């Protein structure tokens, strides 16, 4: 193990934070409690993020955590990024996934695959005010991501994109999109290429916003490409190598989703713990009953196990060590944990848990997407099985 790897993995139990990490976590929690929480109910009802909150995310540096300092970012770690994602999801999953996708997918893709010119142009903008989105999914390509049909035609001095993308997070807010299209349908995954599309490009429009079960303030939209003109220099990576861009970016993105689910579980648990202290039945608080205590204990165990998996995957990534299996495990387990803990929180609230006057039903609705986006639970199981069977 290298010195850097050893340093990254030196924290006892992985959940012990350095002083710098603890300060960062505290600053994000202060923002989440002071600025996000008062807006949650209104954003949920409006199904839209508060524009002032988006502006504050940029001002606080939450939109450029890993981005290099030379491009206006903090030059920090994936571990700090997942701390921010976790703390935001503890209060509101919609704000969390907004920050998550911008950092772990879009910024990550530029850092790994962008030329110096593209990094200077786009990472600088994304650090200061322009939101990013990642456009891979289509109606006919979900888990089979490489069955996409959006086409890219070489027109000499520009590329022309034609097709449609679905379920794109940050679709309404974003001004910079990483779009995957194929230059040759017959070539299969070898024809896929990643393009950088700006909101104002000719032939590009943002379509309808989906009316969702959870993460309702987060915009999930369709994108329409009707002869969209993309400059030749706006290819991210190599022509025909878009499949590598997507796969390797999503590997890190899964850690971000794991952190989001961890935050949801933590938030639901804290609500349940507080409520059981306040709620009285039979002349005493319900948390004095052993049955309730055991349920709270089970929730705490699941959350701690999830935290270890998520933090471990992030530490491995920062250390430059293999993390694919650990990221898949973290996403799989965290999505199960969030849904189970939020469901148990509803039950502990009783009838109050089932109505929108109380927060736990929202945590459950927000949790459900964790087993679907950035790779379904079945796809995570497939990845884990493949790696363990190969001896990795």
The predicted pLDDT at position 15 comes to 81
Model pLDDT, residue 2: 46
CATH number for the domain that contains residue 65: 1.10.540.10
Q: Are 65 and 100 in contact (CB under 8 A)?
A: no
Q: Where are the beta strands (DSSP E) in the chain?
A: 131-135, 151-154, 158-169, 174-182, 192-198, 204-209, 220-231, 235-236, 280-281, 284-285
How is 192-248 classified by DSSP, letter by letter?
EEEEEEETTSTTEEEEEEP--SS-TTS-EEEEEEEEEEEEGGGEES-TT-HHHHHHH
Residue 101, domain member (yes or no)? yes
Domain that holds residue 77: 3-131
Q: What is the pLDDT of residues 357-382, one digit of tens each?
A: 999 999 999 999 999 999 999 999 99
Catalytic residue check, 374: yes
- Tell me the whole-structure pTM to 2 decimals: 0.95
| Distance of alpha carbon 65 from alpha carbon 376, whole angstroms | 26
What digits encode the pLDDT tens for the residues 87-97? Answer: 999 999 999 99
pLDDT, residue 146, reads 77
Among residues 66, 160, 302, 374, which one is catalytic? 374
Render each residue's pLDDT in the chain as its tens digit; 392 residues: 444 444 444 444 578 899 999 999 999 999 999 999 999 999 999 999 999 999 999 999 999 999 999 999 999 999 999 999 999 999 999 999 999 999 999 999 999 999 999 999 999 999 999 999 999 999 998 788 778 999 999 999 999 999 999 999 999 999 999 999 999 988 989 999 999 999 999 999 999 999 999 999 999 999 999 999 999 999 999 999 999 999 999 999 999 999 999 999 999 999 999 999 999 999 999 999 999 999 999 999 999 999 999 999 999 999 999 999 999 999 999 999 999 999 999 999 999 999 999 999 999 999 999 999 999 999 999 999 999 999 86
Number of domains forming the structure of the chain: 1
Residue 281 lies in a domain: no
Tokens, residue 105: 């997918």
């Amino acid at each position: 193990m290298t010195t850097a790897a050893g340093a990254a993995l030196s924290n006892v139990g992985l959940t012990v934070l350095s002083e710098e990490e603890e300060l960062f976590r505290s600053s994000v929690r202060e923002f989440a409690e002071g600025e996000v929480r008062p807006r949650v109910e209104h954003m949920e009802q409006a199904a839209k993020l508060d524009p002032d909150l988006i502006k504050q995310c940029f001002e606080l540096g939450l939109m450029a955590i890993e981005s290099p300092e030379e491009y206006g970012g903090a030059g920090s770690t994936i571990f700090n990024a997942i701390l921010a994602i976790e703390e935001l999801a503890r209060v509101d999953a919609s704000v969390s996934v907004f920050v998550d996708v911008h950092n772990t997918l879009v910024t990550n893709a530029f850092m790994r695959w962008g030329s110096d010119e593209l990094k200077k142009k786009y990472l600088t903008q994304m650090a200061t005010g322009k939101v990013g989105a990642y456009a891979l999914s289509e109606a006919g390509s979900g888990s089979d991501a490489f069955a996409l049909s959006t086409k890219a035609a070489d027109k000499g001095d520009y590329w022309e994109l034609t097709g449609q993308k679905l379920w794109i997070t940050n679709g309404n807010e974003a001004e910079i999109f990483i779009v995957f299209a194929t230059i040759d349908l017959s070539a299969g995954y070898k024809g896929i290429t990643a393009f950088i599309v700006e909101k104002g490009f000719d032939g590009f429009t943002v379509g309808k916003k989906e009316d969702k079960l959870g993460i309702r303030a987060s915009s999930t939209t369709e994108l329409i490409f009707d002869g969209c003109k993309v400059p030749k220099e706006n290819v991210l990576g190599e022509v025909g190598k878009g499949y590598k861009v997507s796969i390797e970016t999503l590997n890190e993105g899964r850690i971000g989703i794991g952190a989001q689910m961890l935050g949801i579980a933590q938030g639901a648990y804290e609500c349940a713990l507080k409520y059981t202290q306040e709620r009285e039945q039979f002349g005493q608080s319900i948390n004095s009953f052993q049955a309730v205590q055991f349920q709270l204990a089970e929730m705490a165990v699941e959350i701690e196990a999830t935290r270890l998996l998520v933090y471990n995957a992030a530490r491995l990534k920062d250390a430059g060590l293999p993390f694919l299996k650990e990221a898949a495990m973290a996403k799989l387990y965290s999505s199960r944990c969030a849904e189970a803990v939020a469901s148990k929180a509803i039950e502990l609230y009783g009838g109050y848990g089932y109505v929108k006057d109380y927060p736990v039903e929202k945590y459950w609705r927000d949790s459900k997407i964790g087993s679907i986006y950035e790779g379904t639970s079945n796809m995570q199981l497939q990845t884990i099985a493949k790696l363990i069977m190969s001896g990795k």
